Amino acid sequence: MDKQIETCTLPRVAAGRARGGRATQQDHLVCLHDPSGDARLLVVADGMGGDGAGELAAEGVIHVARRLWEQGLWREQPGAVFLETLCQEAHAELRRRGRDLASGEPHSTVVALLIRGHHISWAHVGDSRLYRFQGRRCIGRTEDHSLSQLKVRRGELGADQLASDPDQHKLLRGLGGAQPPQVEHGGAMLRAGQAFALCSDGVWEHLSAQELGRLAHRRDQPGALHEALTLVLERAGEAGDNVALILFRAGWVSWLRGRAGRRGGLVA
């Protein structure tokens, strides 16, 4: 098993991924930051498909996220519109990449969080998740587009049984399929004391929302990230999945500055 953790950090963001017990790495992520606009784009993608198609798919999603960010579309479009564009263009990119493969079909999940000042928008397709915390308390998470989640809705399965259900990996939505994806969106105002975790299923299968909340709220974000992924790799064992995790914590100073900016005042 490969326990090496690749990491990256931004102000108030820590992210990392590990291959775990798999032969290839099909999880990918990106953290993008524009200091002038106090904006961030955080994306996790979990690729699927045989013969290297999963790696190609996840890389394709991240490629599109970088391209759209560099084009500055996030400045021009409402958050939900930008994230819809990201998901639909990523889907089209995977379809293009699939035409060049002799075998295997590139598919991927995606979960993305856009932070612009005090406005946050998120979108997801598949079973990669976004958790939202106020302090250490989980105030919401995205709902998986999977057969297991459907069973929970029908009352056939308890929510605490999702991670171990045999149908958990059977997805009802994804990028790269024959039809354009149906993207699920959310949005809110960013508040002081909030923290967020974006992750692939390889993480949430082995870390509870309570554990993620405790770790996401820590000031030492690189340390929290390393502890989280180390725990996941240990619990998953030799046959563990790829893992990818991004932690973001709202800062009090920037939150106060944003409030003052909205009121026409200044914070020194």
Q: Rounded to an integer, what distance in angstroms lies between the CA atom of residue 143 and that of residue 132?
A: 12
Residue (of 180, 189, 110) closest to 142 by Cα position: 110
Residue written as token pair 């059977």? 170
- Residue from 77, 156, 163 nearest 127 by CA: 163
Closest C-alpha to 198, from 190, 207, 189: 207
Ordered by start, the domain boundaries in the chain are 2-263
Looking at the chain, the whole-number percentage of residues with pLDDT higher than 70 is 93
Amino acid code (one letter) for 174: G
At 221-255, the pLDDT tens digits run 999 999 999 999 999 999 899 999 999 999 765 55
Average pLDDT over the chain reads 91
* CATH H-level, domain 2-263: superfamily: PPM-type phosphatase domain (3.60.40.10)
Specify whether the CB–CB gap between 201 and 131 falls below 8 A: no
CA distance 106 to 104: 7
Cα 215 from Cα 2, distance rounded (Å): 23
Rounded distance, CA 170 to CA 166, Å?
A: 9
The tokens for 135 are: 């302090």
pLDDT value at 45 more than 90: yes
